[in-house]
């Protein structure tokens, strides 16, 4: 019985399977159950979804709940097989030779030896030769390292990879050899209420109706015709946080129209990707959506007496 299986205990209903994760992960009942089932039965898993959908948060919570070690690897073009597997320390090799004591474990060997979860982020960004190493490990549950020998996977070792299917810059298409060895869990954006809950948990206190509209604003970026990739819930978190700090600096309220507008521009304009054919800027779309959600900015009040500002 694995640590993940032991952590769950008996299951008496759909919600009873994941009570120990409710404080860490908002919603995601289906994805949690699928991930737990995949890891428990010995499968390797690919979590596929846009940024900000909680892939890393979900896996960390599952690993901690099950008492498994968690080894994180950032996927990029610089992740060579040597960096993933490890290598002999040249200075120690000169003095002691090629012995196990002079080998410095990389993240893959560390996870194999400890029976941990190896989490490879942005797996579609890593070079093909590095992917081939992962394919070998998934197929054989062991790895042969020159001069070191064979390293077998300890009980509990699992590979979980994550990828963003919408990011085409600097990425490669994952081969069928990878998909043939993993279970694929697709993670889309959460519901409005769940994203609202996430923002409430991670931000300073603000009026609930205003926070709800911030979440609505961010969700609309994913549906706009001129936007190729909208913002994740991280954008809503930053809009709220930035509004609170900006209001403090200006001596205003976070819910004031101009404070929220400036915060939204700064927090969201770099997070959305425009269709090249649209001819619009991110700022113009954010402005359009902000007005649609919060209305037009009110005109400044005239001073008492009816005289326009600045006139005697």
Q: 126 and 230: one domain?
A: no
State the Rg of the chain over Cα.
Answer: 25
CA gap 19, 2 in Å, rounded? 18
- What Cα–Cα distance (Å) separates residue 41 from each residue in 5, 34, 48, 84, 102? 9, 11, 20, 25, 35
Q: What is the pLDDT of residues 170-187, one digit of tens each?
A: 445 567 888 888 999 998
277-305 pLDDT tens trace: 988 999 999 999 999 999 998 876 665 55
Q: Which three-class secondary structure state does DSSP give residue 174?
A: coil
Torsion from C-alpha of 75, 79, 84, 86, nearest 10 degrees? -150
- Alpha-carbon span 271 to 37, nearest angstrom: 34
Confidence band, pLDDT 50/70/90 cuts, at residue 3: very low
107 CB-contact burial (10 Å; exposed 0-12 / middle 13-18 / buried 19+)? buried
Name the token pair of 7.
């952590």
**CA torsion sign, 272 to 278 to 283 to 286?**
negative
pTM of the predicted protein model: 0.76
C-alpha to C-alpha distance for 65 and 61, rounded to whole angstroms:
6
Render pLDDT for 124-168 as a digit per residue (tens, 0 to 9): 889 989 999 999 999 999 999 998 899 999 998 999 999 887 654
Reported as a single tens digit per residue, the pLDDT across 202-236 is: 999 999 999 999 999 999 999 999 999 899 999 99
The pLDDT of residue 11: 35
Domain encompassing residue 272: 192-294
Please report the pLDDT score of residue 269 as a whole number: 95
CATH of the domain at 228: 1.10.8.80
DSSP for residue 303: P
Give me the mean pLDDT over the 26-53 stretch.
87
Report if residue 309 sits inside a domain. no
- Torsion angles phi and psi, residue 84, rounded to 5: -75, -45
CATH number (domain holding residue 51): 3.40.50.300
Is 91 within the bounds of a domain?
A: yes
- 44 lies in some domain: yes
Q: DSSP character for 100?
A: G
Residues 8 and 88 in one domain: yes
Indicate if the pLDDT at residue 55 is higher than 80: yes
Q: Are residues 235 and 92 in the same domain?
A: no
Which residue has 């994203």 as its token pair? Answer: 195
Alpha-carbon gap, residue 184 to 66, rounded angstroms: 21
- What is d(CA 70, CA 59) in angstroms, rounded to the nearest whole number? 9
Do 203 and 144 belong to one domain? no
């Amino acid at each position: 019985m694995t640590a993940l299986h032991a952590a769950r205990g008996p299951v008496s209903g759909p919600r009873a399977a994941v009570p120990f994760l409710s404080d860490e992960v908002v919603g995601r009942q289906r994805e949690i159950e699928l991930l737990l089932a995949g890891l428990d039965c010995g499968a390797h898993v690919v979590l596929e979804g846009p940024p900000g959908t909680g892939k890393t948060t979900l896996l960390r919570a599952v690993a901690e709940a099950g008492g498994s070690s968690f080894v994180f690897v950032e996927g990029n073009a610089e992740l060579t097989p040597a960096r993933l597997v490890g290598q002999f320390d040249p200075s120690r090799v000169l003095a002691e030779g090629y012995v196990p004591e002079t080998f410095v474990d990389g993240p893959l060997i560390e996870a194999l030896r400890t029976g941990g979860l190896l989490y490879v982020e942005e797996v579609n960004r890593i070079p093909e030769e590095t992917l081939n190493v992962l394919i070998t490990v998934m197929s054989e549950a062991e790895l042969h390292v020159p001069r070191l020998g064979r390293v077998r996977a300890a009980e509990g070792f699992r590979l979980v990879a994550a990828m963003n299917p919408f990011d085409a810059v600097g990425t490669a298409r994952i081969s069928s050899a990878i998909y043939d060895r993993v279970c694929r869990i697709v993670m889309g954006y959460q519901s409005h209420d769940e994203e609202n809950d996430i923002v409430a948990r991670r931000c300073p206190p603000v009026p609930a109706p205003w926070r709800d509209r911030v979440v609505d604003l961010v969700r609309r970026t994913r549906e706009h015709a001129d936007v190729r990739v909208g913002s994740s819930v991280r954008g809503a978190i930053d809009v709220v946080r930035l509004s609170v700090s900006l209001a403090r600096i200006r001596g205003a309220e976070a819910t004031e129209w101009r404070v929220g507008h400036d915060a939204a521009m700064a927090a969201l304009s770099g997070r959305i990707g425009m269709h090249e054919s649209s001819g619009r800027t991110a700022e113009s779309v954010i402005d359009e959506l902000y007005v649609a959600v919060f209305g037009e900015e009110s005109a400044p009040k005239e001073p008492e007496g009816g005289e326009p500002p600045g006139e005697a």
